[in-house]
Amino acid sequence: MCGIVGYHGREGARDILIDALRRLEYRGYDSAGIAISQDGSVKIARKQGKVSDLWNAICNENFEGSMGLAHTRWATHGVPSERNAHPHKVGDITVVHNGIIENYLELKESLKQDGRTFVSDTDTEVIPHLIVNYLDKGSDFEEAVRLALKRLKGSYAIGVMRDGSDTMIAAKKESPLLVGVGKDEFMIASDAPAIINRTNSFIFLEDNDIVIITNGEMRITDFDGAAVNREIKTVQWTGAMAEKGGYRHFMLKEIFEQPRALTETLIGRIREEEGDVVFEDLNLPDVSKIRKIWMVACGTSYHACLIGKNMFEANLRIPVETDIASEFRYRDPILDKDDLVILVSQSGETADTIAAMKEVKKKGLYTLAICNVLGSTLSRDSHGVIYTHAGPEIGVASTKAFTTQISVFFMLMLYLGKLRGVLDGDDVRRHLTELKKLPHHITAILKSSAAIEEIAQANMHYGHFLYLGRGINFPTVLEGALKLKEISYIHAEAYAAGEMKHGPIALIDENMPIVVVSPKDQTYKKTCSNIEEVITRRGKVFLFTDSFDHDMAPKVNAVFVIPETIYELQPILSIVPLQLMAYYMANHLGTDVDQPRNLAKSVTVE
């Protein structure tokens, strides 16, 4: 996830900005760059690799000045390279940018027709070109930036400087950006950790805010130039706390980041008006010949595959086989040259999944990776890759990686469905409308997290839990039970609800709490019967549903209602309260939530 920092004050900007970039390294990146205003022009240095590589390149150079911007880039448009790194400079305008410009291709084509020349593969480069275009037409610096921003569709946080000007401009839309207010200085940053060592006074910008810093003063306007007032807030965070955004644990922060992670994963890929999904550089073979789809992964990613299987088979009518990566090779599966093999891993370094990929490639099959880490082994060595733009996931127990993986499966299902002719533009458009609602739905769930914490705290003393779900929510409860086991060390098992009477029902008594996910879908009545069987045996039931008038609500011990969505997307919403319940139980039990015993974030050995 890219990082922006900027400095406008009286001290040397270079060392302040490099230190700030180092404090953002936890976000993940593939290149870094810096721009310093000195002697009437803006001097730039960029390097593929780490911040340390950038520092080594400039530490003995004359990079002095009291205003500057710096950036760490995680590639989305254009491979990791120095020419694609930020800052980008066109004429006398220098820009750093986080986010994705959805209409950059149209803008780029229009600018080329005006005689503009592009030197990078990025979507970002259209921004300085647009600003220069307006400057050439007679606009002043501030107006040119404002007019350029009005042309952009998508998400962005930007910082802008101009040769010969003491003014720094920043703006935000659907991508995080804040202003640090210090003594005789102002800073901009994507995240508080970058500048918490210099100030604890922040302005948390809102969408469509434009910040103008000049002559030791700062003001904020909207896109039309009208003044905007934003409160300066003082936070009592240490550096470590700031990395966690003020949350007690990374896992909790990452649960609460899911609306933003989903938004980042969707941006640039969905075309709701056209009823289209767009992926870059998949290089797929002829999808009309696909005989079978294989989905291979481990742990949480395997549960995402089980949900993908439900989606694909129901909508594409192609048989899908899911495999645990550690078992895949050893059973010598019967593969056909026209099969599509999808391999899923948060880190892209999961040893068993990489081994499965190598085995498949030996047999001449196309491999598609779904991965969160740019440049990882899986992403490099697969024929195609779709990145989940979840951002770095520090907590060992995966949360936002899971929900973004499901969203990628959903988009891929729509993409293949349209290519194969089984879904038309209207079908895709309806599905995308529901998909776009998910970040708002998750935000609503998170606002009710106190209710989940109350359930968790009241029941954390139980040593065993049983999780039940049906259909597409069976993998959801598998994941919910895994979360509880991973971080609280409470034993939990998940079953397809219809299987309960085939054995697990023997365990049910007043000391065996049952977690049930039961939306009002095609399995609703059957799940109600399963809940009745549990209640008859004195089981304690915690019900997660999308209906306030669920038939079992008056009979169970607790009910949590999630927003309604279409069947295929239910798991993305259903899992969030289960993640929260596992977290709150573990937190109140005092376990090491972020680094649970015996577990590693990336399983790099078989």
| CATH number of the CATH domain containing 330 | 3.40.50.10490
**Could you tell me if 18 and 133 lie in one domain?**
yes
Assign 461 to helix, strand or coil.
Answer: coil
The total of other beta-carbon atoms located within 10 Å of residue 61's CB is 11
* Structure tokens belonging to residue 128: 């300085």
Q: Where a domain ends, among 440, 460, 494?
A: 440
159 has which bridge partners? 96, 170
Q: Is residue 602 part of a domain?
A: no
**Could you tell me if 429 and 463 lie in one domain?**
no
What's at 290, amino acid-wise? I
**Could you tell me if 78 and 213 lie in one domain?**
yes
Task: Find, among 364, 377, 310, 301, the residue nearest to 337 by Cα.
Answer: 364
541 has which bridge partners? 514
End-to-end Cα spacing for the chain: 29
Interatomic CA distance for residues 352 and 365, integer angstroms: 18
Q: What φ, ψ does residue 595 adopt, rounded to 5°?
A: -130, 70
Q: Is residue 39 part of a domain?
A: yes
- Of the CA atoms within 13 Å of residue 496, those in its CB half-sphere come to 8
**Could you tell me if 234 and 262 lie in one domain?**
no
**Could you tell me if 238 and 310 lie in one domain?**
no
**Could you tell me if 319 and 279 lie in one domain?**
yes
- The pLDDT, as a whole number, for residue 14 is 96
Per the structure, the count of domains in the chain is: 3
Q: Is residue 599 part of a domain?
A: no
**Could you tell me if 161 and 17 lie in one domain?**
yes
What's at 587, amino acid-wise? N
**Could you tell me if 239 and 341 lie in one domain?**
no
70 has which bridge partners? 5, 34
- The pLDDT, as a whole number, for residue 315 is 95
Q: Is residue 498 part of a domain?
A: yes
Burial class of residue 22, CB neighbours in 10 A (0-12, 13-18, 19+): middle
Q: Where a domain ends, among 418, 440, 462?
A: 440
Percent helix, percent strand, percent coil in the chain, to nearest 5? 40, 25, 35
Q: Where a domain ends, among 387, 409, 440?
A: 440
Interatomic CA distance for residues 167 and 243, integer angstroms: 29
Q: What is the pTM of this model?
A: 0.76
- The pLDDT, as a whole number, for residue 600 is 62
Q: Is residue 597 part of a domain?
A: no
Q: Is residue 603 part of a domain?
A: no
Averaged over successive runs of 10 residues, the pLDDT of the chain (606 residues) comes to 90 95 79 94 94 93 93 81 93 94 92 93 94 96 97 92 97 90 94 88 92 95 95 81 82 94 90 88 86 96 98 96 92 90 92 91 94 82 91 88 97 96 93 96 96 96 95 96 96 92 86 94 91 90 94 94 96 98 97 84 52
- The pLDDT, as a whole number, for residue 449 is 96
Cα 153 to the chain's mean position, in Å? 19
Domain boundaries, position 102? 3-243
- Of the CA atoms within 13 Å of residue 415, those in its CB half-sphere come to 17
> Where are any strands of DSSP class E within 163-288?
168-173, 178-182, 185-189, 201-204, 209-214, 217-221, 233-234, 270-271, 276-277
- 8 A C-beta contact, residue 334 and residue 365: no
The total of other beta-carbon atoms located within 10 Å of residue 422's CB is 13
Provide the annotated active-site residues.
2, 601
**Could you tell me if 323 and 188 lie in one domain?**
no
- The pLDDT, as a whole number, for residue 100 is 84
Q: Is residue 606 part of a domain?
A: no
Q: Is residue 315 part of a domain?
A: yes
